[in-house]
Amino acid sequence: MKIEKIARGVWKFTEWSGLSSNVYLVDIDVPTLIDLGAKEFSRTLARGLKEVGYTTADIKKVIFTHLHFDHIGDPSMFKNAEFFASQREIDDLKNDRIGSFFALFGTNPSALLKGIELKPAKSNSRFTIIDTPGHTGGSICIWVREKRLLFTGDTLFSNNILGRTDLPNSAPNEYEDSLKKLARFKYKVLCPGH
C-alpha cells in the first residue's frame, strides 16, 4: 500500500492488488473516509490509518462515491461511523440493480453492506456533494472548497481518463452532463477512485 499526504489533514491510501483503488481520509471537521476500497484491502487500510495516527474507531463518516464492491470495503470495521451515498445509489442497492451483476464475480454489495444504515449524502459547509450519474446512476463526486480538492470516484480516473459507463447500473446518457458539471470546478488536486 502507498500512503500519500495530499494536503493538510488529507491522505490518499492506494492498494496495489488487483483493482488498485484509492481511499481518502479527510480530517477537516471530523475524520471522514471517502470510499473504502475492496474488502480484501480492509486490514491493510486499517494499518495505513494507524501509520497516519488514526484507528478505525476514529472514523466518524464514510462517504461512498458509488456502491460497487471495490469502493465499499468492509464497513463493519468502522463501528463509530455514519455511512453516506446518494439516494439514487441507495435505491438501486435496495432494488438489486447493483448486486446481481457483481454476484457473477463472487461478491455482492448488498451482502457487504448488510446491517449498515446508509444515509443520503448531502452537502454541508465542508463538503459539496455533486450528483454525477454516468459510471453508475447514483455516482457522486465531492468538492472540498477550502482545499480545492475534487474527489471523483469512478466518474473520472487519474490522468483525466473517463470512467466506464457500460455496466448494468451505468447511466451513459447522463454522463456528458456530469462531466460538464465537473469542468466548472477549479480544483488544485483531482482525487480519483483509481
Determine the structural domain holding residue 146 and report its residue range: 2-192
CA-closest candidate to residue 185, choices 130, 140, 134, 111: 130
CATH number at residue 89: 3.60.15.10
48-53 mean pLDDT = 98
114-125 mean pLDDT = 93
Whether pTM exceeds 0.85: yes
pLDDT, tens digit, 9 for 90 and up, residues 158-189: 887 889 898 888 999 999 999 999 999 999 99
CA-closest candidate to residue 65, choices 45, 85, 82: 85
129: Cβ contacts below 8 Å, ≥ 6 apart: 63, 86, 121, 122, 123, 140, 141, 142
pLDDT band at 36 (very low <50, low <70, confident <90, very high): very high
pLDDT at residue 161 in the model:
83
Please count the structural domains in the chain: 1
